[in-house]
Structure 1
Amino acid sequence: MFLATVAVSCVLAVAMVGSGFAKLLGNAGQSRLMEEVGFPADRMWILGACSVAGGIGLVIGLFWWPLGVVAAVCSLAYFTGALVFHVRSHSTGRSMTGAVVLTVLSAAALALRIASA
């Protein structure tokens, strides 16, 4: 069970840190996505910082399970919020698919982290 926790947490962490740094650096694709879903681009750095922190928390949480649970809960909340923004903006396609996949990964990371505690 712990091996699955490590795999899911690491995949999610890599996605979150990569996406977070893209937001922090003002990546043009991320800016377009923020505009598409109606999130203020000037506040994109907040999402980037939360994403990077969540990814780091997931990795550290492999060694200290309470932090892993908290990081997984926060990532689930983060991506649920992303889904809300996508649905409100009637977004479709790849950006919506990414939000759905990352929400499912977050839920899996949470369930696995709790199960392997």
Structure 2
Amino acid sequence: MRTGRPPPVHHPVLARSEETPAPRPELSMFITTLVITTLFALTLLFSAYGKLVRDPQQMKTLEHVGFPAQRVPLLATAEIAGAVGILMGLAWKPLGVAAAIGLIAYFTGAVASHLRIRDWRILPSAVLLLAAVATLALRLVLR
């Protein structure tokens, strides 16, 4: 009895042979971690640069939430340390975990600074907080 479907065709390139190893999920997880960590680190470095050169938009936001202008370089230092920590943490897991936890604390403080003054424009800080949480989760999942 014929069903109307053509019989399966064996394609020599697309068919998986017994010799072809299956893809390794740990490799794809590492690549995912590498990409997310690198993008997050670049974002942190860009933000730190803005603070160090006193970008008017960043300074306006920091002034609005009541952060002292003379201490802005400390925020930039924390962001640079976090970026370096998560990148180096790709090679040494404990450092990556510690850096991600520090960044979670940093961005929790940023969100809290906005909420403290009833400023609901927390999207940038909240997104970076979620990026820090994702970075930590990926570091903990990887062996």
Task: Tell me what 1:46 maps to.
Answer: 74
| 111, 114, 117: which one aligns with 2:140 | 114
| 49, 52, 55: which one aligns with 1:21 | 49
RMSD of equivalent CA atoms? 1.1
| 99, 102, 106: which one aligns with 1:71 | 99
Task: Tell me what 1:99 maps to.
Answer: 125
Instruction: Tell me, yes or no, if structure 1 residue 5 matches structure 2 residue 66.
Output: no
Normalized against structure 2, the TM-score is what?
A: 0.76
Deviation string for 1:22-76 (max 9, x for gaps)?
1122111111010111111111110011101111111111111111111111111
CA distance in 2, matches of 1:45, 1:33: 15
Shift of 1:92: 2.8
CA distance in 2, matches of 1:34, 1:42: 11
Identity %: 37
CA contact (8 A) 1:57 1:71 kept: yes
CA distance in 1, matches of 2:142, 2:82: 19
5+ residue gaps in structure 1?
none
Q: Secondary structure at the match of 1:62?
A: coil
Q: Runs (4+) of structure 1 moved beyond 2 Å? A: none
Which structure exhibits the higher relative contact order, with contacts defined as CA atoms closer than 8 Å and separated by 6 or more residues? 1
CA distance in 1, matches of 2:107, 2:95: 18
5+ residue gaps in structure 2?
1-28
CA contact (8 A) 1:8 1:109 kept: yes
Count of residue correspondences: 115
Task: Tell me what 2:89 maps to.
Answer: 61
